[in-house]
């Protein structure tokens, strides 16, 4: 059940091809508009399709939270695994809307370094300032790495030049960053992967407003 945004439709397209290529069967495959607040009709149709799991690629936590609540509150609700995107799963709006019903939802969490000392210190300082760890650790670590790399470039160059900065990044090899060990290919991509993550607690039930995650495995 896919939200109609470029980001989520790309995810759905990739998932659909890979899932079916590996023998999976889609018993339901529809989209919903951004801003949708009533998922009852879609939920009823999904139940009639009798799926073994649900994948909800959505860009907004509110949509995920409302769907979960309406899914579980409807007559004849069934308890099956629900998967979503890493931008929706840890989103506070999703936790507020769904409450404890969000516990058990799965998503692929972009990896970051567990051992990098600078990353540990940054997250500790963040928690001291805001009372919680970053909601999306990958984003926080990635922004810090970006600023560090930009700083390194400016130490060697008196002014910023886009093409020179691109060449600088392409020359980066095995950089010990907060995301992990970074090297860039010719397209500017890195080899950082994702971790299968399961939401263990609702944000609205934790005093420190933190999502507890269980890292089941790391996928390259």
Q: Kindly state the average pLDDT of the residues 124-128.
A: 95
Coil, strand, or helix at residue 27?
Answer: coil
Exposure class string for 123-135: b at 16+ Cβ within 10 A, else e: beeeeeeeebebb
Between the ranges 2-11, 104-113, 134-143, where is the mean pLDDT highest? 2-11
Q: Which of 22-36, 118-132, 182-196, 198-212 has the lowest mean pLDDT?
A: 198-212
Question: Which residues are CB-neighbours of 109 under 8 A, at least 6 positions away?
Answer: 86, 89, 137, 138, 194, 195, 196, 197, 213, 215
Q: What is the distance between the alpha carbons of residues 81 and 199, in angstroms, rounded to a whole number?
A: 12
Q: What is the distance between the alpha carbons of residues 117 and 219, in angstroms, rounded to a whole number?
A: 23
Whether the predicted pLDDT of 138 surpasses 90: no
- Please name each of the domains of the chain with its CATH number: 2-111+193-219 (3.40.50.2300), 117-182 (no CATH)
Coil, strand, or helix at residue 82?
Answer: strand
Q: What is the distance between the alpha carbons of residues 157 and 114, in angstroms, rounded to a whole number?
A: 32
Q: What is the distance between the alpha carbons of residues 3 and 58, in angstroms, rounded to a whole number?
A: 5
Q: What is the residue-averaged pLDDT of the chain?
A: 88
Q: What would the pLDDT profile of 74-113 be if each residue is shown by its tens digit?
A: 877 788 999 999 889 988 899 999 999 999 999 998 888 9
pTM of the model: 0.73
Across the strands, what pairs with 215? 197
Q: What would the pLDDT profile of 53-78 be if each residue is shown by its tens digit?
A: 999 999 888 999 999 999 998 877 78
What stretches of the chain adopt beta strand conformation (E)? Answer: 2-3, 31-32, 54-56, 82-84, 106-110, 175-176, 181-182, 194-199, 213-219
DSSP 5: S
Q: What percent of the chain has pLDDT over 90?
A: 67
User: Which pairing describes strands 181-182 and 82-84: parallel, antiparallel, or unpaired?
Assistant: unpaired
Q: Is the dihedral of CA 198, 139, 58, 62 positive or negative?
A: positive
Question: Do residues 18 and 10 make contact, with C-beta atoms less than 8 angstroms apart?
Answer: no
């Amino acid at each position: 059940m896919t939200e109609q945004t470029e980001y989520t439709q790309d995810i759905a397209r990739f998932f659909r091809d890979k899932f079916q290529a590996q023998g999976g069967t889609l018993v339901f495959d529809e989209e919903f508009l951004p801003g949708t607040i009533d998922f009852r009709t879609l939920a009823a149709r999904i139940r009639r399709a009798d799926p073994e799991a649900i994948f909800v690629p959505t860009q907004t936590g509110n949509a995920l939270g409302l769907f979960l609540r309406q899914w579980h509150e409807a007559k004849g609700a069934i308890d099956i695994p629900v998967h979503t995107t890493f931008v929706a799963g840890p989103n506070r709006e999703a936790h507020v809307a769904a409450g404890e019903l969000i516990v058990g939802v799965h998503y692929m969490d972009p990896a970051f370094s567990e051992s990098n000392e600078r990353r540990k210190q940054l997250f500790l300082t963040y928690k001291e300032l805001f009372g919680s760890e970053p909601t999306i650790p990958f984003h926080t670590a990635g922004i810090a790495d970006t600023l560090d790399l930009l700083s390194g470039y400016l130490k060697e160059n008196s002014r910023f030049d886009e093409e020179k900065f691109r060449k600088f990044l392409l020359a980066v090899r095995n950089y010990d960053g907060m995301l992990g060990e970074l090297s860039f290919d010719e397209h500017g991509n890195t080899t950082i992967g994702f971790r299968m993550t399961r939401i263990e607690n609702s944000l609205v039930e934790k005093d420190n407003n933190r999502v507890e995650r269980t890292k089941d495995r790391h996928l390259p």
